[in-house]
């Protein structure tokens, strides 16, 4: 079983419009509502790959009930969300067909009380026992300590469970010092962490801060990975147009699934890159186009440079 943690779960609402123009009225051509938050998106992709996944985090109010109801409809996913008093947040994504792209509106999330945070930590320790790996994903809701991920990383390490961390800002800065097995920042998160906008230099700096491996998302340019075994750059054969929302979450699913399957790093990066690109072809996060994914797998290029490790 793979455990995903989404402390700031969401009810994701995706609107599709022909062309998004600020300050004007729009006719929505399609609406999708589903459970969301980064770790939930990761879990959906993992389940589609055939892995058994347990989802934990917080859920509350009517939106929390909608999230839990939505999770029950996904084969392979077990709901272990911890109930709280505040309502789960909503996130709204507006996808425009012309010229293409997505606009995201993210609510901050409910305030979590100290008692609710303590209840989660107890549940997390229990859920780690049968876990083959854990992915800690996304932002922190109000009330959760900024060092929360650092503590969750240490708890996983004490339980001998490999841990991947995917977050940003101060939670990433503190969490990486707890020595997770993998961190997966995007280019902006990496630059904020290290102060460098040069991908290789920033990735090297991030790894020196404590992570065993750093996998940086470079958008359409693929992934840059610095690990104890060396440096790799993985890229799809050509950039794919579409909705980039959730592409990073699919990359996380590729990395953690390949970790559990004990695949070598080049194969991990190939899977993560192909899944990320195949997600761009879908309308909503947590999905990937399987035909595109299978077509890309043999065509992703992984270039090694062991001298840079």
Q: Which two tokens stand for residue 21?
A: 């123009």
Across 37-173, the runs of DSSP E, i.e. the strands, are 53-59, 77-79, 82-83, 89-96, 102-106, 133-137, 163-166
- Separation CA 195–CA 14 (nearest Å): 33
Instruction: Map residue 262 onto helix, strand or coil.
Output: coil
How many CB atoms sit inside 10 A of residue 98's CB?
9
Q: How, if at all, do strands 89-96 and 102-106 pair? A: antiparallel
Give helix then strand counts, H and E, for the chain. Answer: 10, 15
Q: How far is CA 4 from CA 78, 105, 112, 250, 266, in A?
A: 10, 23, 19, 13, 23
- Counting every residue written for the chain, the total comes to 309
Question: Which residues are known to be catalytic?
Answer: 249
Strand partners, 30: 16
**CA-CA-CA-CA dihedral for 150, 249, 225, 209, to nearest 10:** -20
- Separation CA 44–CA 274 (nearest Å): 16
Instruction: Map residue 130 onto helix, strand or coil.
Output: coil
């Amino acid at each position: 079983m793979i455990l995903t943690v989404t402390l700031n779960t969401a009810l994701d609402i995706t609107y599709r419009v022909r062309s998004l123009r600020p300050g004007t009225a729009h006719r929505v051509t399609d609406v999708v509502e589903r459970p969301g938050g980064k770790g939930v998106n990761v879990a959906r992709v993992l389940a589609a790959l055939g892995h058994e996944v347990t989802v934990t985090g917080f859920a509350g109010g009517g939106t929390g009930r909608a999230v839990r109801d939505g999770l029950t409809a996904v084969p392979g996913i077990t709901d272990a969300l911890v109930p709280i008093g505040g309502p789960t947040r909503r996130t709204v994504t507006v996808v425009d067909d012309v010229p293409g792209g997505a606009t995201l509106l993210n609510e901050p999330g409910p305030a979590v009380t100290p008692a609710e945070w303590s209840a989660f930590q107890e549940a997390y320790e229990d859920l780690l026992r049968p876990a083959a790996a854990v992915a800690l994903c996304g932002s922190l809701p109000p009330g959760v300590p900024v060092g929360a991920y650092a503590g969750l990383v240490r708890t996983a390490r004490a339980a001998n469970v490999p841990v991947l961390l995917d977050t940003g800002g101060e939670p990433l800065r503190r969490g990486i010092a707890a020595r997770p097995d993998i961190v997966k920042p995007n280019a902006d998160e990496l630059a904020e962490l290290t102060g460098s906008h040069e991908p290789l230099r920033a990735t090297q700096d991030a790894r020196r801060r404590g992570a065993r491996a750093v996998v940086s998302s470079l958008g359409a340019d693929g992934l840059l990975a610095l690990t104890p075994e060396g440096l790799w750059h993985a890229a799809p054969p050509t950039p794919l147009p579409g909705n980039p929302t959730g592409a990073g979450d699919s990359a996380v699913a590729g990395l953690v699934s390949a970790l559990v399957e004990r695949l070598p790093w080049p194969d991990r990066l190939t899977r993560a890159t192909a899944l990320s690109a195949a997600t761009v072809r879908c309308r909503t996060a947590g999905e990937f186009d399987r035909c595109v994914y299978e077509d890309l797998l043999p065509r992703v290029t992984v270039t090694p440079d062991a001298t840079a490790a």
